[in-house]
Structure 1
Amino acid sequence: MSAADETAIQALSTAGAFCGECGFEPGDRGCPDCERVWAGYVKALRAAGWAPRTEVTDEFVAWLVKRAREHRAQGPQYAKQADVIGRLADKVQRGAVRPNNLLSLPPQGGPEDVTELRARIAELESRPSPAAVLRQVADQWTAHCPEHSDAEDVWMDCPEDWVFELRRAADEHDKGGTS
């Protein structure tokens, strides 16, 4: 069993998945039936196409290196393309290329200008600002405060200090701060 599979099994245990026959507590690893169930879950995930990011990255880097070699073998006129592919493989292997890096780029009409990327950017742009979210949480907490509202369903102690901090962070964000 690979280290990635072992990590997945530990995550299943911590999340509360168990065999149903033992006195399981999240994080326990003593029951052989639970171990069998978790191994089955990981096997099913693998069969469905799940793979840890490192395995996917390693496979992609190997493919890029192969393509660079193929270009170089086609002759000197393809040497620059091979060099670019090789540099890309190096950057991917070092972790310098991440999927969310593409979201900050403006569409160029090239391969990155695809419908899914535009939809993702539109989704992200339609979300409320961090300041608006902070204010919304502060309003919700104030609405359920026993000392500052007449709500019947009070579920917390007075969060006045936390509400103040949330509103301060929202104001700082609006001013261009980093909170």
Structure 2
Amino acid sequence: MSQSEHVLKTAGEVEGSDGLRMDADRAEEIVDALNTDLAATYVLYHQLRKHHWNVEGAEFRDLHLFLGDAAENAEAFADELAERVQALGGVPHASGATLEAESPVEPEDENVYDIRTSLENDLEMYGDIIETLREHVELFDNLGDPTTAEIIRENIVTVEEDAHHIEHYLEGDTLVTADAME
């Protein structure tokens, strides 16, 4: 860190936005929810990347590409969430420790699992995130913030599509294991 330090905004404080006509109290409630979504999305992003890097087996190529695309989708969504937090006068969660601590979803541990187990873990995380996003759309509508609600609505489509793709990969006739090939 540099010799001189000048904090422009303190994490956890929300100013609101005169330009967006959003008072600090309402903005704080919205920012808290968005930072929760941001933290969950980054935990999902890192887990998807882990699986993208470690996938093996007969369906390696398709799964490797899908998981890379899904991780990119999560990263793009996280960027939109962070930018909205900033626009509302808040400070987006950014450090790895804060993102993991504030996330409502638990990341998988460091071990590498078979792809079926990995995808089941991803699908569970997606489901938890989808439920939270739906709750937050309702919250944002109730707080009179249709813009933030619309940002979530637009992105939940992609989140649900990626979750649905995982459901297809987990069907009974996919993800051939080494035992099945013997």
Q: Shorter-chain TM-score category?
A: under 0.3
Give the TM-score of the pair, scaled to structure 1. 0.27
Q: Which has the larger radius of gyration?
A: 1
Structure with the larger RCO, 1 or 2 (CA within 8 Å, 6+ apart): 2
